[in-house]
Structure 1
Amino acid sequence: MSDVTTTDLYEVTMALSYLREGMDSAATFSLFVRDLPPERGFLVSAGVESALDFLAGFDITCADVRDFAAALGRPPQELASLRGLRFRGEVRAVPEGRVVFSGEPLLEVTAPMAQAQLVETFLLNQVTHQTSVASKAARCVLAAAGHPVIDFSLRRTHGVSAGLQAARVGAIAGFAGTSDVAAAVRWRLPASGTMAHSYIEAFPDEEGAFRAFARAHPGPVTLLVDTYDTLRGVRTAARVLRDIGRGPGCAVRLDSGDLGELARRSRRVLDAAGLFEVGIVASGGLDEYGVDALARSGAPIDAYAVGTRVGTSADAPYLDSAYKLVEYDGRPVMKLSSAKATTPGRKQVHRRPGAPDLVALYDEPAPDGAEPLLRTVMRDGRRTGPPDTLAAAHARLVRDLAGLPEAALRVRAPAPPVPKLSARLSHTTEVLRERLVARAGAASGTAGSSR
């Protein structure tokens, strides 16, 4: 099955109705996050590149129509209007790696109504997941305070594709490598890995396992030391590394227990053996909270491997994201429902030095010194430029983080900046709200009199 059918059924039923009614005017949908999770002081835009890949290849084939028809329990000929439908719209998006906040569009899609509607589910899936994990990964890098962070998340992510995405957005955040071989090859990332406890257990003793591993890998090795007794394992690793004359680039890995205290005692063992250049890698249920505590304690840990909690964004496993219609056929529209009201019209986000971001209508003049975040990345269903690079996305993130207030960067109890609405957008929103409320009241009164 193609990615075209990776959608919710109601996208198909709505698209069929739009086409039947001749509603093919341009519609603009805005994808944004309503509120940040409690422990987030910022989000990191991610998933835009995979969203653009999807849109560029969006083409409903006969096979897709048959699949839609099967799901609906209808003859394929009744869905013939969908056949050959391709995405021919425009996309404006915040480039990957940029810091974003609640209520700010991460991307806006403008296309004929059925096209813009049908792509909703896939775009939300890609941008929501990758932005969530990228944001947590960035916090890990901040918590590590300059020490390398490595992605070990693949075995626990919610699917193989999610694991690939976690490795990719980890690179945007500044991770030093990944254990995921496919991701390392696909995106030319440093591959990193050590050994499992099962490897140690397969040998008669720990020392035999370490020596065999070193024989198989002539370069630097990292030896897992906590299979039986951690400090005994460190002493054994030190003896093996000293005997075979290896030090620089090698490390021991701590995967359980009181990582801070074990790191201190392990450092003393390694230094006493003259292995000053052998590092200590910590792993085992770590995320930004554990990394932050270890770094603040002064534990002599040289690198952190993070897995399950980061690849699943365990403390905030989803974002309150939405893909909402904001304009149709040149007419601004909005939703009024309680706690989920939207603002109308196509938008731009202006980043202002020393001031909150300004969310404005897209054709408003930019304030002095402001930088627009949304860029046109697709026209007529084609990219406006080459695919973005991970290095460029990482550079944007580094720059944006440097401009955030300290309160937003805190690992515990962060305080995110709150964007402001422009005067014109606020006025447009209020006028449209009053008009819709009045129209609803008139309709209610008419219905009542008819009874």
Structure 2
Amino acid sequence: MAEPSLMLREQDLPLLVDLYELAMAQAYWRFGMDDDAVFSLFFRKLPEHRNFVLACGQQQVARVIESLRFTDEHIRRLEDLNRFESGFLDWLRQWRFTGSVRAVPEGTPLFPQEPLLEIRAPVAEAQMLESLVMNYVHLESTLASKAVRLVLAADGRPVVDFGMRRMHGLDAAWRGVRAYRVAGLSGTSNIQAGTDFGLPVKGTMAHSFVQACEDEMAAFRMYAELYPGTTLLVDTYDTRGAVRNIARWLKDNPDVDIGGIRLDSGDLGEEARDCRQILDEAGLDHIRIMASGGLDEYQIESLVAAGAPIDGFGVGTAIGVANDAPAIELAYKLTAYQGEPRMKKSTGKRSWPCPKQVFRRFGGDGRMQGDLIVEASEEGEGTPLLQPLMADGRLLRDAIAPLEDQVRYTREAVASLPDQQKQLALADQAYPVRLSESLEEKQAQALERIAQLQEWHYQDQD
């Protein structure tokens, strides 16, 4: 067997499926089941530490769906599994997504049972997309939901992503930066992703540079000469001593341009106060203080509430792995087939049938007041969230807004949340989400149909 590629290639995404998806697709093909189906992507409950999920990636994955093609190499690999008929493999050679996709805009706050996207297509086509769609949307929604909490905790101060080194894979480190930009982060240390997604690339120095130099001040002098306006890392040896030395150096060399200092250890609030005092007494009130070192939103909120004179935050591991809520229980479920409602009845996992729409109501102050989930054909009060993205297998013109517009939309959408949903602590009251009477009636009818079919089956067996 040839050595595999060092990285997953975009052209190989058609094989990024679980076996059962292609196994079911072959069964659909084999038995002539090619009617339209609707699959809905949603979550049943919020992660433990979240008051909302910031939907992200659901529009971008439509670009992936449009370009999927099975190559001869893909077919050869599937042949080697000895599970697929030659006729089905021929069908895969010609496979193209021919259906439609609706999704909420990138950066939309969502709540349990509300679809992030819905796919309508011949059942085999839609079934084959399950794992790809879930993986793509899960990553970006998880990271965006973490990032927006950091933005809220920082209360207007910039937050920069330092998380690449400990993230779960290079794809996550790259795509995560797009999610961070949507969520409102101010910068990233990741050069590739930052330049790809238009998020300012920011960084300072590591302790190793200071350690490698003859002494700390030599390191500072070289960096300042090479990078005017730089931020100096001051906690390698003695934080306060380093800042005092910087203050004396700048007093004697007023033309030297230092933009800030970075604190990366210790009691960040106390050290920031002491450093701010040293700098201010030296007339260096223009030098900013940035903090990093294992920060998360709870620590940032505490520092801000205590009035710590910190001008910005760098966050690494906590954002890169979404440490307090690393998973969203996304589900991709069949909700209609052959024009009829379909649902899952399992204990604890009962789903709602039918294609859907979500209407969001706003008060006179622009704040969100409540959502109504309805059948897609129903009307409701408020703004409909699910919008067409694809039709007949093709992206609709201008359906996906430019990234800068998505950032602006997200900022406004998050600002419109009720105050309880924006706090880090769990809200005392859940955001109000109702289901329409028609949708409840369709679920009851679907349950009755399931019961009748089961009863008929058992009688037939007797």
TM bucket, shorter chain:
over 0.9
SS at match of 2:370: coil
- The separation in 2 between residues aligned to 1:418 and 1:63, in whole angstroms, is 50
Q: 2:407 aligns with which of 394, 397, 414?
A: 394
- The separation in 2 between residues aligned to 1:245 and 1:381, in whole angstroms, is 63
- The separation in 1 between residues aligned to 2:323 and 2:256, in whole angstroms, is 36
The one-letter amino acid of 1:371's match is T
- The separation in 2 between residues aligned to 1:261 and 1:173, in whole angstroms, is 30
Structure 2 match to 1:174: 184
Equivalent residues in 2 for 1:27-426, closer than 5 Å: 27-72=37-82, 79-217=89-227, 219-245=228-254, 250-354=259-363, 355-367=369-381, 370-386=382-398, 387-414=400-427, 415-426=429-440
SS at match of 2:324: coil
> Which one is further off, 208-217 or 245-254?
245-254
The one-letter amino acid of 2:74's match is D
- The separation in 1 between residues aligned to 2:420 and 2:218, in whole angstroms, is 50
Deviation string 1:283-339 (CA, Å, 9 cap, x unpaired) is 011121111111111100000111111121110001000000101121110000011
- Cα 1:140–1:13 change in 2 (3 A) is same
SS at match of 1:357: strand
- Cα 1:72–1:397 change in 2 (3 A) is farther
- Cα 1:191–1:69 change in 2 (3 A) is same
- The separation in 2 between residues aligned to 1:174 and 1:440, in whole angstroms, is 51
- The separation in 1 between residues aligned to 2:87 and 2:388, in whole angstroms, is 37
The one-letter amino acid of 1:63's match is E
- Cα 1:249–1:124 change in 2 (3 A) is farther
- Cα 1:281–1:430 change in 2 (3 A) is same
Structure 2: runs of 5 or more not aligned? 1-8, 364-368
Identity %: 41
> Which one is further off, 382-391 or 421-430?
382-391
The one-letter amino acid of 1:350's match is F
The one-letter amino acid of 2:264's match is D
The one-letter amino acid of 1:55's match is I
- The separation in 2 between residues aligned to 1:446 and 1:288, in whole angstroms, is 59
Q: Is the 8 A contact 2:59 2:389 kept in 1?
A: no
Quote how far apart the aligned CAs of 1:446 are: 3.1
SS at match of 1:182: helix
- Cα 1:249–1:406 change in 2 (3 A) is farther
- The separation in 2 between residues aligned to 1:418 and 1:125, in whole angstroms, is 28
SS at match of 2:362: coil
- The separation in 1 between residues aligned to 2:289 and 2:373, in whole angstroms, is 46
- The separation in 2 between residues aligned to 1:394 and 1:110, in whole angstroms, is 28
Quote how far apart the aligned CAs of 1:246 are: 5.7
- The separation in 2 between residues aligned to 1:266 and 1:117, in whole angstroms, is 58
Q: Is the 8 A contact 2:44 2:329 kept in 1?
A: yes
Q: Is the 8 A contact 1:40 1:416 kept in 2?
A: no
Deviation string 1:224-283 (CA, Å, 9 cap, x unpaired) is 011111211222333344444368771110111111111111111111221101000010
Deviation string 1:148-200 (CA, Å, 9 cap, x unpaired) is 11111111111111111221111111111111100111112211000001111
- Cα 1:56–1:247 change in 2 (3 A) is farther
The one-letter amino acid of 2:379's match is P
- The separation in 2 between residues aligned to 1:73 and 1:365, in whole angstroms, is 46
- The separation in 2 between residues aligned to 1:110 and 1:78, in whole angstroms, is 21
> Which one is further off, 74-83 or 387-396?
74-83
Quote how far apart the aligned CAs of 1:67 are: 2.1
Structure 1: runs of 5 or more not aligned? none
- Cα 1:442–1:73 change in 2 (3 A) is closer
The one-letter amino acid of 1:310's match is I
- The separation in 1 between residues aligned to 2:303 and 2:256, in whole angstroms, is 24
Q: Is the 8 A contact 2:230 2:257 kept in 1?
A: no
Q: Is the 8 A contact 2:38 2:118 kept in 1?
A: yes
Quote how far apart the aligned CAs of 1:428 are: 0.7
Quote how far apart the aligned CAs of 1:214 are: 1.1
Quote how far apart the aligned CAs of 1:50 are: 3.0
- The separation in 2 between residues aligned to 1:297 and 1:319, in whole angstroms, is 32
Q: Is the 8 A contact 1:93 1:108 kept in 2?
A: yes
The CA RMSD measured in Å over matched residues stands at 1.7
